[in-house]
């Protein structure tokens, strides 16, 4: 797994103690930095090639951010929500492309906020607002950009983009490497709203926390078990499928748009300075390339 800074050491110890499995390792990586993603992916490839890790059988993109504005930028100059929720997944998979051993499964965590209706988001998150990928990747200025609503719109839009990315990947991945979107629904208690104000944080710990006793929400433990099953259980369906908690379902009608999917794919390649399409060796890039992005 990857984690920021020294968090990986703590998580490795926690997981080893909780499961009794000593085969847990971590690599430091801040997903808000393309250079760090590149270095981490290079280290994964090195360890796999050296047989320090077993063959790479999958990828789980679980990290996600929800900000209270659309003004934050990463070290690369990209809007933070879009960079972490979308570009990080894209970049990691591209850099590991030639190291997956079939059968393999890629699972990316989506959100039913991408539906943009009351039924799916309880009115807490505005509907996605699609723009070109380059526009979505840029932080904004002005009073509207500083609003909580704009930050949450960036979140729901990023989760729509995750579904587009999964569809684009499903058309490109080699036979035997499947990709899925997993929607855990509303899961209070994960720290997703840590950037929110004190009132929302308090509600998440109290009133909204209570929703876990209803069908409207899941506990982190239940959601985690379902995610683990989606990532490593029985084959859920055709590659590109949307998994809604315990079952395969259709994602939002807006999420089936091949033109947007292909625009996202092409623009993400440009934003990450990668060739438009994977080849047998084009994505095996050195640490020098990643480090040069910071100069």
Task: Return d(Cα 175, Cα 165) in angstroms, integer.
Answer: 18
Number of CB atoms found within 10 A of residue 124's CB: 13
Percent of the chain with pLDDT over 90: 72
What is the predicted pLDDT for the residue at 119?
A: 82
> Higher model confidence: residue 101 or residue 281?
101
What order of strands is seen across the sheet that includes strand 56-61? 56-61, 100-109, 177-183, 242-244, 247-249
What is the predicted pLDDT for the residue at 118?
A: 83
Give buried/exposed letters for 142-180 (b at 16+ CB in 10 A, else e). Answer: eeebeebebbbbbbbbbbbbbbbbbbbbbeebeeebbbb
What is the predicted pLDDT for the residue at 123?
A: 77
179-229 pLDDT, tens digit per residue, is: 999 999 877 766 655 565 654 555 555 545 445 545 567 888 888 999 999
Per the CB < 8 A criterion, the answer to whether 11 and 26 are in contact is yes
Label the pairing between strands 100-109 and 242-244. Answer: unpaired
Percent of the chain with pLDDT over 70: 85
230-251 pLDDT, tens digit per residue, is: 999 999 999 999 999 989 999 9
Mean pLDDT on 171-176: 96
53-64 pLDDT, tens digit per residue, is: 999 999 999 988
- Average pLDDT of the chain to the nearest whole number: 87
What is the predicted pLDDT for the residue at 279?
A: 77
Band the pLDDT of 105: cuts 50, 70, 90. Answer: very high
Mean pLDDT on 249-267: 97
What is the predicted pLDDT for the residue at 282?
A: 41
Choose the most confident range, by mean pLDDT, from 60-64, 100-104, 116-120, 124-128.
Answer: 100-104
Start-end of H helices in 70-147: 80-82, 88-96, 118-121, 133-136
Label the pairing between strands 2-3 and 27-28. Answer: parallel
Task: Compute the CA torsion angle 64, 81, 115, 113 (nearest 10 deg).
Answer: 50
pTM value surpassing 0.75? yes
Which residues, at least 6 apart from 224, have a Cβ–Cβ distance to it below 8 Å?
A: none
Query: What is 57-292's CATH number?
Result: 3.40.50.720
Q: Which of 108-117, 241-250, 253-262, 275-284 has the lowest mean pLDDT?
A: 275-284
Mean pLDDT on 51-77: 94
Task: Return d(Cα 13, Cα 50) in angstroms, integer.
Answer: 24
């Amino acid at each position: 797994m990857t984690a920021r800074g020294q968090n990986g050491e703590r998580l490795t110890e926690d997981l080893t103690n909780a499961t009794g499995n000593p085969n847990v390792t971590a690599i430091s990586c801040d997903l808000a930095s393309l250079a760090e993603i590149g270095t981490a992916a290079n280290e994964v490839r090195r360890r796999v090639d050296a047989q320090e890790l077993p063959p790479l059988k999958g990828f789980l993109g679980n990290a996600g951010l929800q900000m209270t504005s659309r003004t934050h930028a990463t070290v690369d100059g990209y809007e933070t929500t879009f960079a972490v929720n979308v570009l990080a997944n894209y970049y990691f998979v591209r850099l590991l492309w030639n190291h997956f051993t079939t059968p393999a499964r890629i699972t990316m965590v989506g959100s039913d906020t991408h539906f943009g209706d009351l039924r799916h988001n309880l009115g807490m998150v505005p509907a996605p607002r699609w723009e070109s990928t380059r526009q979505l990747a840029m932080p904004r200025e002005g009073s509207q950009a500083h609003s909580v609503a704009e930050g949450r719109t960036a979140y729901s839009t990023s989760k729509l983009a995750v579904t587009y990315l999964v569809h684009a990947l499903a058309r490109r991945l080699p036979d035997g490497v499947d990709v899925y979107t997993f929607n855990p629904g509303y899961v209070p208690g994960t720290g997703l709203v840590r950037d929110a104000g004190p009132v929302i944080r308090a509600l998440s710990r109290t009133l909204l926390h209570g929703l876990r006793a209803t069908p409207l929400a899941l506990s982190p433990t239940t959601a985690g078990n379902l995610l683990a099953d989606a990532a490593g259980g029985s084959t859920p369906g055709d590659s590109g499928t949307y998994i809604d908690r315990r079952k395969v379902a259709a994602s939002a009608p807006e999420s089936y748009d091949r033109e947007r999917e292909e625009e996202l794919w092409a623009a993400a390649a440009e934003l990450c300075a990668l060739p438009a399409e994977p080849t047998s060796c084009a994505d095996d890039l050195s640490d020098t390339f990643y480090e040069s992005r910071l100069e």
